[in-house]
Chains A and B, each alone.
Chain A
Amino acid sequence: MKTILQLRGIIKRFYIGEPNELQILNGIDLDVREGEFVAIVGASGSGKTTLMNVIGLLDRPTEGEYLIDGVDVAAASDRELSYIRNQKIGFVFQTYNLVAKTTALKNVELPMLYGGVPARERTRRAKALLDLVEMGDRVKHLPEELSGGQKQRVAIARAMANDPAIILADEPTGALDSKTGRTVMDLFHRLNKEQGKTIVLITHSEELARETDRIITIKDGSITGERAGDAR
């Protein structure tokens, strides 16, 4: 299978004042194949989210080479990165990040809006996706009227809006109880199995990590371990 994400010697530094230079990622090499379900684990502050932001094109690496679906990120303009985020990546955040005062339906429509999908098609597809995550009866609800688990399911429907090849989830179950976390996790498994989505999941739960194809351990900004999960 082809490699969809290819990271070579990725370094990320933060500059907070002249003398304080913080190197958070110390040369990450990582390949993710199409359709793979990868878990990233590691202690708090080890650089998992920082890595995820680089993978998700929300942040550019300080050094190193990153190819996403064959496109060299270093050479791409901001506008091109917006386009790739829109078309190829679906984000699921720990804090859901639904747009406030905006219905579940309109939230799911957002990526399609920026992708230029016609209004009628947008609504049709958003409804279908909300049905898929079993939120079809909450279409007109505002985020503040939903529970955490419900919000996260809407967020997953939103991540799926433009049928992206890659789903990036940073501790998607972190704010949920284990039962709700379970339903969210089941959703990811379904998307991975049935639709062949490539999924990168950051989690603190060893149990959930073990359900994936491959588990990558990060420590102090470096990959220190890699093992196969039970799904293999």
Chain B
Amino acid sequence: MMVMENLRMAIASLKANKSRALLTMLGIIIGIAAVIAIMTVGNSVTNTVSSSMQSMGVNNINVMIQSRKNEPEERESGIVFGAVEHSKEMTERDYLTDEMIAGLLEEFSDEIEAISASEAVGSCEVKNGSASANVTVTGVSQGYFAANEKTMLAGRLLSAEEATGARNAAVVSSEFVDDLLEVSYEEAVGRSFSCRLGEQQVQYTIVGVYEQVDSATAMMMGLVGTECYIPLTTAQQFNHTENYQNLAVVGKVGVDADALARKIETYLDGHYRSNRYFEVSAFSMSAMVTAMADMMDTIVTAISVIAGIALLVGGIGVMNIMLVSVTERTREIGTRKALGATNESIRMQFIVEAMIMCLLGGIIGVILGVAGGILASNLMGAAAAPSVGSIVISLLFSLAIGVFFGYYPANKAAKMNPIDALRYE
């Protein structure tokens, strides 16, 4: 019964000073909202990314050429952040070759299912009436779509004949059709579009449309969404190359993709030992999922620390206002004591008031945080996943802040001498 009365008194007291209470709660609101929002976004993105990466095949290994890091003699003047990279352009002789692929297939025949290659051609602006989009053009070998588990929605894959003949055939993403053509996927097949790559104007004919993975993952992987894939040979001809910048290795079922990636890297390192500027890097999809989760964890931790500081400041604000309130209500405290209130009941009254203020701030913070988190998740194209656990913990935590920062002012009120309190002017 005393609990109910304390709650009633606390609410009445907060109501009497609405704007002051709200301003005091601001620190708590911001802190809790930040925690909940980042948790929601983090949850959503991690879930979405890892599930779609999983669906893209955790057995896949990406092999690529990258600049060697930390070559001191190549260090450019000026300020350098993190790893040092040189500005040397990749040339034909730095690329992966057919011999290397053959070598890999022979060396790891028990573990590798298939190897597909891709060749970046470039990106261009494609216009269709008022619609326009930036399209990236990539040449891919025939196994590419199977290796990346892309689903066809209409038309067909690039044919062997188109591959050998280096034709200008293209498989485009569903988003390409949605953004540029505004026709059904079936109708899109057979249409052609032109695009300017470097000095050349090229005309491509759409032979198939595949389903675009959701945008959050695409964004994380550096895809623009409007992708266009052409035969590898067409791309190689365009680039005047016979070698590859990129390989996708599909591991056999049951093979440890991480271990295989390391073995492939070690194997190819042999070929690149004499290359001063470039090296080979191989990583599995599962390693990428882990890296993504780690990155998300780091962001969550960083923002949580900031939110923690906001909560601390908020708590101090609550303590400050409670001290003001106790001083303002000195006569009331004296009166209550004259009427028989014990020190404990006075202390409880003010602690409950601080707790309610913090809890209210916490609730508002949770609402704002969930709303913000859902909004941000949707903008990133991830399915929103507010974490019930973090909501409960946040609310309990805000109550704890109330107790912690409310105790000192409440104790000050409790220990007042009744007659001094009554005489207070």
Q: What residues make up the interface of A, taking CB atoms closer than 8 Å to B?
A: 53, 56, 58-59, 78-79, 82-83, 85-87, 91, 93, 97-102, 110-111, 113-116, 118-119, 158, 162
Contact = CB atoms under 8 A, between A and B. Distances in A.
B419 A59 contact: yes
A56 B338 contact: yes
Given A53-B419, A58-B418, A59-B419, A99 B340 contact: no
B345 A114 contact: yes
A100 B332 contact: yes
Nearest to B338: A91
Contact of A97 (B5, B12, B331): B331
Nearest to B17: A101
B339 interface: yes
A86 B340 contact: yes
Interface string B64-88: 0000000000000000000000000
26 contacts: A58-B419, A78-B342, A78-B343, A79-B342, A82-B337, A82-B340, A82-B341, A82-B342, A82-B343, A83-B340, A85-B338, A85-B339, A85-B340, A86-B339, A87-B340, A93-B422, A97-B331, A97-B334, A99-B332, A99-B335, A99-B336, A110-B336, A114-B345, A115-B340, A118-B1, A158-B339
Contact of A111 (B12, B340, B343): B340
B392 interface: no
Given A85-B337, A110-B339, A158-B339, 9 more contacts: A78-B343, A82-B341, A91-B338, A97-B334, A99-B336, A101-B16, A111-B339, A119-B5, A162-B340
Given A58-B422, A113-B2, A113-B5, A97 B335 contact: yes
The 3 closest A-B pairs by CB, nearest first: A86-B340, A114-B340, A58-B419
Nearest to B343: A78
B97 interface: no
A113 B345 CA distance: 10
B13 interface: yes
Given A58-B419, A82-B342, A113-B5, A101 B13 contact: yes
A119 B5 CA distance: 9
Nearest to B329: A100
**Interface residue SS majority, chain B:** helix
A98 to B, nearest CB: 8
A158 B338 CA distance: 12
Contacts of B417: 59
How many chain B residues sit at the interface, stated as a range, is 20 to 34
Nearest to A96: B335
Interface in B301-360: 331-332, 334-343, 345
A115 B422 CA distance: 20
Contacts, number: 67
Give the most central of B335, B417, B422: most A CB within 10 Å: B335
Contacts of B337: 58, 82, 85
Contacts of B418: 58-59
A85 B340 CA distance: 5
A56 B340 CA distance: 11
Given A82-B337, A82-B340, A85-B339, A101 B419 contact: no
Interface string B1-45: 110110000001100100000000000000000000000000000
B299 to A, nearest CB: 45
Given A58-B419, A113-B5, A118-B1, A91 B339 contact: yes
B330 to A, nearest CB: 12
A186 B417 CA distance: 33
Nearest to A83: B340
Contacts of A115: 340
Interface in B408-425: 417-419, 422
A93 B339 CA distance: 12
Give the most central of A58, A83, A111: most B CB within 10 Å: A58
Contacts of B341: 82, 86, 114
Contacts of A100: 332
Contacts of B345: 114
B420 to A, nearest CB: 9
Contacts of B340: 82-83, 85-87, 111, 114-115, 162
Contacts of B13: 101
Contacts of B4: 119
Interface in B256-270: none
B12 A114 contact: no
Contacts of A85: 337-340
A83 B100 CA distance: 92
Contacts of A58: 337-338, 418-419, 422
Contacts of A119: 1, 4-5
A113 B2 CA distance: 7
A45 to B, nearest CB: 14
A118 B4 CA distance: 12
Contacts of A56: 338
A102 B13 CA distance: 9
Nearest to A53: B419
A71 B337 CA distance: 19
Nearest to B337: A82
A85 to B, nearest CB: 5
A15 B337 CA distance: 23
A81 to B, nearest CB: 9
B345 to A, nearest CB: 6
A53 B422 CA distance: 10
Nearest to B9: A102
A102 B339 contact: no
Contacts of B343: 78-79, 82
